Amino acid sequence: MLTIAVCDGGKKDLSRTAEQIRASISPSDDLTLQIDLFQKPFDLLDVMEKGNFYDIYILETVLTGYSGVELARYLRKCGITKPIIFITSDKSYALEAFEVDALQYLVKPVTKERMTETLNKARAMLKNERRAQTVFKTVDGFRHVYFRNILFTETDGKYQLVHIQGGDTYRVRTTATAMAQSLCAHPGFVRCGSSYTLNLYHIDHYDSMEVLIKDGSILPVPRGAYAGLNTAYTGYFTSVAT
């Protein structure tokens, strides 16, 4: 699945861009493509507020309410690190566009070859990043986080606290079960009791009573959780070593 958001004030331009995107994806790729079209930046943000994120963002620089560059700045401020492509007839925003780490600044009319080349670059970036990152919708905005930087998560009422290497903590409104299922789908994570999900890489040592995380945090090992923790830990480091 490849999801792309296109934000452009012109209906014809939106349709043309969507057609170019579809034409740029080879049938041999066997790829499910989802293209969502937005005329207003706030419509895109409303969808994202509901937890729907995209792999690629294609933005016109001239929009109603926000310029495309202002929208891109907001996305970056919220932790969105996915490729952003500008597609516009206005060349004056080019310098500002690259200040938000835009992948490409395409000037209309865009050829099929140029679109294909740009999307191939974006897909190559995603391929390298996809297995290494996840995204959290926190109370302070969206946060893209490398799995390797997650120390552990813990339950705090209706929220999960995601503790990050370096000292940051993100507050996410979800259940412990949902958080554990999401993280444990990737190698190196284990649920420890009902409240904690641990990154095995960041465990300094553990016994049947407690776990010491490399940042100095000490977490209790609930009754009955030690066997699962021990199996996961030894299995993980055995697989890494072989």
For every residue of the chain, DSSP letters joined together read: -EEEEEE-S-HHHHHHHHHHHHHHS-GGG---EEEEEESSHHHHHHHHHTT---SEEEE-SS-SSS-HHHHHHHHHHTT--S-EEEEES-GGGHHHHHHTT-SEEEESSPPHHHHHHHHHHHHHHHHHHHTTEEEEEETTEEEEEEGGGEEEEEEETTEEEEEETTS-EEEE-S-HHHHHHHHHTSTTEEEETTTEEEEGGGEEEE-SSEEEETTS-EEE--TT-HHHHHHHHHHHHHHHH-
Question: What is the structure's pLDDT at 66?
Answer: 83
2-130: CATH number:
3.40.50.2300
Please report the pLDDT score of residue 27 as a whole number.
Answer: 72
pLDDT tens digit sequence for 51-103 = 889 999 999 998 888 899 999 999 988 878 889 999 988 888 888 887 888 99
Every domain of the chain and the residues it spans: 2-130, 139-241
Tens digits of residue pLDDT in 153-209: 999 999 999 999 889 999 999 999 999 999 998 888 999 999 999 999 899 899 999
Q: Which of 26-30, 56-60, 104-108, 229-233 has the lowest mean pLDDT?
A: 26-30
What confidence tier does 8 reach under pLDDT thresholds 50, 70, 90?
Answer: very high
**The domain 139-241 is classified under which CATH number: 3.40.50.2300, 2.40.50.1020, 3.90.1150.10, 3.90.700.10?**
2.40.50.1020
pTM check: above 0.75 = no
Please report the pLDDT score of residue 242 as a whole number.
Answer: 42
pLDDT above 90: percentage of residues in the chain: 67
If you average pLDDT over residues 22-47, what whole number do you get?
A: 90
Mean per-residue pLDDT of the chain: 90
